[in-house]
Amino acid sequence: MAIDRENFKRLKEIKSTMEDLIEEAGNIVRCSGDKHEYERAKAYWIGHIEGALNNINPYDTTMAQTIKALNPGEEEDEDFDDEEDDD
């Protein structure tokens, strides 16, 4: 089931408003000077809302992504046990 063009446009406006508001809320918390609370907010409720709005979450990562980030240029090896046996 599809929605009409007007409702589609309105949903996009609502999403944009929500993005603006979450950015403003984050700035308020950040400007409070309490770095710990800002990091907690960013890692939890701000991150979750941003992720839900844009299908991304900067704090979500897989182990494979971490391994790749720590070893740029290395090919991914699906079987790490083979490398350990060579020693």
pLDDT one-digit tens code per residue, 3-48: 888 999 999 999 999 999 999 999 999 999 999 999 999 999 998 8
Confidence grade of residue 52 (pLDDT, cut at 50, 70, 90): confident
Task: Return the pLDDT at 79.
Answer: 53
Q: Distances in Å between the alpha carbon of 10 and those of 13, 16, 43, 79?
A: 5, 10, 29, 49
pLDDT at 51: 84
Q: Kindly state the tokens that stand for 84.
A: 């350990």
Q: Rounded CA gap, 76 and 67, in Å?
A: 8
State how far the Cα of 69 lies from the Cα of 38, in Å rounded to an integer. 25
With a CB cutoff of 8 Å and minimum separation 6, the contacts of 58 are: 47, 50, 51
Q: Which amino acid is at 74?
A: E
